[in-house]
Amino acid sequence: MATSDPSVKTTPAVDETGADSSRILQTRGLRKEFGGLTATDAVDFTLEEGELRCLIGPNGAGKSTFLNLLTGQLAPTAGEIYYDGADITGLPSHERVGRGISMKFQVPSVYEGLTVAQNLRIPLQQVVEPDAFDARTREILERFDLLEQWGTVAGELSHGQQQRLEIGMAMAMEPKLMLLDEPVAGLSIEETADIAELLREIADDDGVALIVIEHDIDFVETIADRVTVLDGGSIFREGPIEEIKADPEVKRIYLGEDH
Amino acid sequence: MSVDSSDGPLAAVRRPFEGPNTMGNSPAFWLGLAVAVAVLAAMPVLFGLYAAEVGAVFLAYALLGMSLAFIWGYCGILSFGQVAFFGVAGYAFGIVAINVATLTGLTVALIASIAVSTVFAAALGYFMFYGGVRDVYVTILTLVVALVLYTFMGQTAGGEWAVGDARLGGFNGMSGVPDLAVGVGSTGVEIGLLGHYYVTLGALVATYLGLRALVNSQFGYAMVATREDEDRTAMFGYDTTFIKLVVFTIGGAIAGLGGVLFTTQNNYVDPSVFGITAAALPVVWASVGGRTSLLGTVGAALAIQFVDYRLALSGSEWALVLIGSLLVIVVLLMPEGVAPRLHEYVLEYREDADPSPVPREPPAATEEVSD
């Protein structure tokens, strides 16, 4: 299922800053403190192009903080973030997005007061010319099964439709890296399967690298190339899902008695 | 975005001013607007010069109201201090014009006063937005700025508070502010009472059309997106801080334009333009008329100020009580304001009138939707 097995990569090209330019994302010694609390601690994380990585860990493990550091919504206390071969640690959110990092929030955050088409226009006008808006909007809505909702106010969509619209909006930015915070929280089994298929497609067909925070281990098993387990703000384990699931230590801190 | 209500006359001319970010994109709307402007233009003819004198003040207020509807209704910035830019422009015009009361001097005064209010808004906006001030704190801060100006200008009664020949005059105000004039050297026009009315009306209409074009542009979508969800919008690569700064600055410039027209009409400005009552009025107009409707706010400003004026004429002191009650009633009954509610009724009526409405999907999906 994995399209980009990290083990078959050629020797990484390391530039003078030490950033590995063959990797879409790399963090080094990333740390974030809130007052006396260290939410993210010395995280060295790498992601290959087109890889779908799931981020799991108990509550308070620092998953969302880590994502917010990547998007630039939080500034790190220490450490660096390299994206596509460049140091983006000091860049504000909107410039990171301009370079192809897209984010889907935990709570569906579509523009509830705007119609579905207007929602899509916000990201679209950043990347395509005005005369292409309608065609691109149709294309994306078809793909995400929302064409009939073109003129519907987004606040009136179902939860699953909002999630799809939001992923569609993130994809409208034509990203190289997409960050998703619990994309299937609160969704039905069918809706979850839909999203799983979509995410796999986005990684395999569009070649977008994804980082997905997820609690649902079955969902993680369906979609992930590799899994990173965070605990106490640091990387606790990293590897293929089978390995992670079999790890007794991971079971102890995270998976609990069900698994 | 292509607007599909492209039938009707002058569709190509209308297009830049139309889109889902403004209410009223139909030929009927534009016809109604033309009639309303014609009625306003006929006022001095129908009711004489006195109507022009009083009316010009209302129109200047309408500009002030529109500046707030633009920044609050379209970008979510509730400024309680639009009067600060209004008043600063008025004082700036007075200071320059009293000192150099030539045609050239008055032209410079006009440009300088709007420039001063614009720069003032840009500076205040820069420190607020880049300093991370948001939401209700913007409201508080802008109100405080207006009140500080009120207090400051109030204590300038002494003779030492003068710039050249222009005495600031404390609570007695600055009097002897010349009329508006445009020209260089000896060629130009002094704008008299009647002319002033039409200049103000023209400025109001031009500003309205300009803002309509702006809010329906790509920048307009970015403004609306920033209003709806600033963090989300930043994640689509928009510099929302800069967007807010630009919007706030444009709002300051429009309020300043209103202030100049107000001051030159009265030939007088005093600190009460910065007072809490004055500061609250634009918020009342926008709340009653509907902050997401530029025209609704203009209508509310004209109507409320007219009623206020009539009550004051008849010696009644109930004007503010009435305005306050009106605000409470409207906010309770239709929180979004009168114009958006009317717009909904019109849309419903049209759907009823046409039993087979075009389904809300492409390509008719760009049917106007009130936001």
Q: Pick from A98, A115, A151: which is nearest to B237 by CB?
A: A98
Is the residue at A27 inside a domain? yes
Which residue would you say has higher pLDDT here, A133 or B367?
A133
So what's the pLDDT on residue A246?
86
Is the residue at A39 inside a domain? yes
* Confidence band for A14, pLDDT divided at 50, 70 and 90: very low
Cα B137 to chain centroid distance, Å, stands at 22
Inter-CA distances, A192 with A112, A214, B250, B286, Å: 22, 12, 46, 44
Q: Pick from B218, B228, B363: which is nearest to A111 by CB?
A: B228
Cβ of residue A40 closer than 8 Å to a chain B Cβ: no
Other Cβ atoms less than 10 A from the Cβ of B130: the count is: 12
So what's the pLDDT on residue B160?
92
How confident is the prediction for chain A on average, in pLDDT?
Answer: 85
So what's the pLDDT on residue A94?
85
- Compute mean pLDDT per 10 residues along chain B, 371 residues long, and list them: 54 86 89 96 93 95 98 96 97 96 93 98 97 94 97 93 92 94 88 94 97 95 94 89 98 98 96 95 96 96 93 83 91 92 89 56 41 39
- φ, ψ (nearest 5 deg) of residue B181: -155, 150
Which residue would you say has higher pLDDT here, B225 or A19?
B225
So what's the pLDDT on residue A78?
92
Is the residue at A1 inside a domain? no
Question: How many domains in chain A?
Answer: 1
User: Rounded to whole angstroms, how far apart are CA atoms A107 and A182?
Assistant: 8
Collect all residues from B whose CB is shorter than 8 A from any CB in A. 1-2, 20, 218, 221-222, 224-225, 228-229, 231-240, 359-367, 369, 371
Report whether B297 contacts B291 (CB < 8 A): yes
- Contact at CB, B362 and A97, closer than 8 angstroms: no
User: Rounded to whole angstroms, how far apart are CA atoms A79 and A40?
Assistant: 11
Region A74-93 average pLDDT? 91
So what's the pLDDT on residue A4?
44
User: Rounded to whole angstroms, how far apart are CA atoms B80 and B138?
Assistant: 8
So what's the pLDDT on residue A19?
54
Cβ of residue A249 closer than 8 Å to a chain B Cβ: no
Three-state SS for A226? strand
Which residues of B are less than 8 Å from A153 in CB distance? 369
Which residues of B are less than 8 Å from A115 in CB distance? 20, 365, 369
Global pTM exceeds 0.95: no
Q: Above 60 in pLDDT, residue A255?
A: no
Copy the structure tokens of residue B103: 């045609």
List the single range of A155-164, A212-221, B223-232, B348-357 with lowest mean pLDDT.
B348-357
Region A212-239 average pLDDT? 89
Question: What single letter denotes the amino acid at residue B307?
Answer: V
Strand pairing category for A101-104 and A177-181: parallel
- Contact at CB, B236 and A73, closer than 8 angstroms: no
User: Length of chain A, please?
Assistant: 259
Question: Chain A window 10-29: which residues touch B at a Cβ cutoff of 8 Å?
Answer: none
Domain housing A133: 6-258
Inter-CA distances, B76 with A53, B29, B62, B355, Å: 37, 26, 19, 36
Is the residue at A168 inside a domain? yes
Which residues of B are less than 8 Å from A113 in CB distance? 228, 371
Cβ of residue A187 closer than 8 Å to a chain B Cβ: no
So what's the pLDDT on residue A256?
57
Tell me the CATH number at A227: 3.40.50.300
Copy the structure tokens of residue B78: 């509730």
Query: Domains of chain B by range and CATH?
Result: 11-366 (1.10.3470)
Nearest CA in chain B to A108: B232
A85-115: per-residue pLDDT in tens?
899 999 988 889 889 998 887 776 899 989 9
So what's the pLDDT on residue A17?
52
Q: Pick from A122, A126, A150: which is nearest to B365 by CB?
A: A150
- Residue to test with chain B: of A122, A145, A180, most B Cβ within 10 A: A122
So what's the pLDDT on residue B179?
93
User: Rounded to whole angstroms, how far apart are CA atoms B32 and B154?
Assistant: 44
B88-115: per-residue pLDDT in tens?
999 999 999 999 989 999 999 999 999 9
So what's the pLDDT on residue B368?
39
Nearest to A225 by CA among A247, A202, A250, A252: A202
So what's the pLDDT on residue A248?
87
- Contact at CB, A151 and B367, closer than 8 angstroms: yes
Three-state SS for B68? helix
User: Length of chain B, please?
Assistant: 371
